[in-house]
Amino acid sequence: MIIIKSQDEIEIMRESGKVTGLILKELEKIIAPGISTMDINGFVEETILKHKMIPTFKGYGGYPAAACVSVNEVVVHGIPSKEKILKQGDIVSVDVGSTYKGYVSDAARTYPVGEISSEAERLIRVTRESFFEGLKFCRAGYRLSDISHAIQKKAESEGFGVIRDFVGHGVGREMHEDPQIPNYGKPGRGPRLLQGMVLAIEPMITQGSYEIEVLLDNWTAVTCDGKLAAHYENTVVITDGEPELLTL
């Protein structure tokens, strides 16, 4: 069941989304060669707590940190570590969730670490652009898979792979609500979008095959072929007109 949010609920989610978005913006200035993935997590957790919010991910299904920090071939759910030091040429995806008055916002970005290859830059850019292609269909009246199809079309037209094993989702009191939102599929399928739905749209795109495996820590998801992956996510409200991005 897809839960429709009231204007009062959306107002709370707006506050939550502001903090999640702000953290991802600030990280642009912090991410550089020499810092550890745990340093990134520390900044994320401190900033959420400073705003009197709760780090949504910490303790979720036993997840041990406030942020997921995923370097290079890690697609999602990288666990922060003091030993994992970013170096020039890496790309790093950071996924953040904040809970405010019981409501969750969820967003992610992929960042360059210093100078990166033009191919890595293109992967990051196309992943972001595929989100905005999907966003064009985040309007009342379209069907859910119109979003999925638009994302897939953009990513594959640029020669990239679309992850199948993780999907976007509804978001609200729970981080993962209905519906599941694949980043691939035929258009014109699934439920019609309605004003008041809140969706986390999150393309996860690879330079090569979309196949992944999860490491023995039961979290870290890596590409099987070892090629780079990028992630771009925002919490989006379906309105009677333009979609509202809560985490930008």
* Closest approach of ligand MF3 to the CB of residue 77, in Å: 6
Considering only residues 53 to 92 of the shown chain, the ones binding Co ion according to CB under 5 A are none
Does position 200 interact with ligand MF3 (CB under 6 A)? The reply is yes
Does position 68 interact with ligand MF3 (CB under 6 A)? The reply is yes
Q: Of 20, 156, 145, whose CA–CA distance to 94 is shortest?
A: 20
Q: Which stretch binds Co ion (CB under 5 A): 55-63, 104-112, 115-123, 136-144?
A: 104-112
Letter string b/e over residues 116-155, b meaning 16 or more CB atoms within 10 A of that residue's CB: beeebeebbebbbbbbbbbbebbbeebbbbbbbbbbbbbb
Does position 177 interact with Co ion (CB under 5 A)? The reply is no
Give whichever of 121 and 178 is closer to ligand MF3, judged by the CB atom.
178
Contacts of 154 (CB under 8 A, 6+ apart): 126, 129, 130, 133
Does position 200 interact with Co ion (CB under 5 A)? The reply is yes
Q: Which stretch binds ligand MF3 (CB under 6 A): 54-62, 110-118, 183-191, 237-245?
A: 54-62
Does position 61 interact with ligand MF3 (CB under 6 A)? The reply is yes
Of 26, 32, 46, 60, the one binding ligand MF3 (CB under 6 A) is 60
Of 10, 40, 48, 57, the one binding ligand MF3 (CB under 6 A) is 57
**Amino acid at site 182:** P
Considering only residues 83 to 112 of the shown chain, the ones binding ligand MF3 according to CB under 6 A are 95, 97, 106
Of 90, 106, 146, 244, the one binding Co ion (CB under 5 A) is 106
Give whichever of 61 and 241 is closer to ligand MF3, judged by the CB atom.
61
**Helices 118-135 and 144-157, interaxial angle, to 10°?**
160
Token pair recorded at residue 187: 């258009």
Letter string b/e over residues 28-47, b meaning 16 or more CB atoms within 10 A of that residue's CB: eeebeeebbbbbbbbbbbeb
Q: Which stretch binds Co ion (CB under 5 A): 121-129, 131-139, 192-200, 207-215?
A: 192-200
Please say whether the beta carbons of 55 and 98 come within 8 A: yes
**CA 210 → CA 203, 222, 229, distances in Å?**
12, 10, 9
Q: Does an H or E element contain 45, and which?
A: helix 37-50
Binding residues (CB under 6 A) for ligand MF3: these are: 57, 60-61, 63, 68, 77, 95, 97, 106, 200, 202, 233
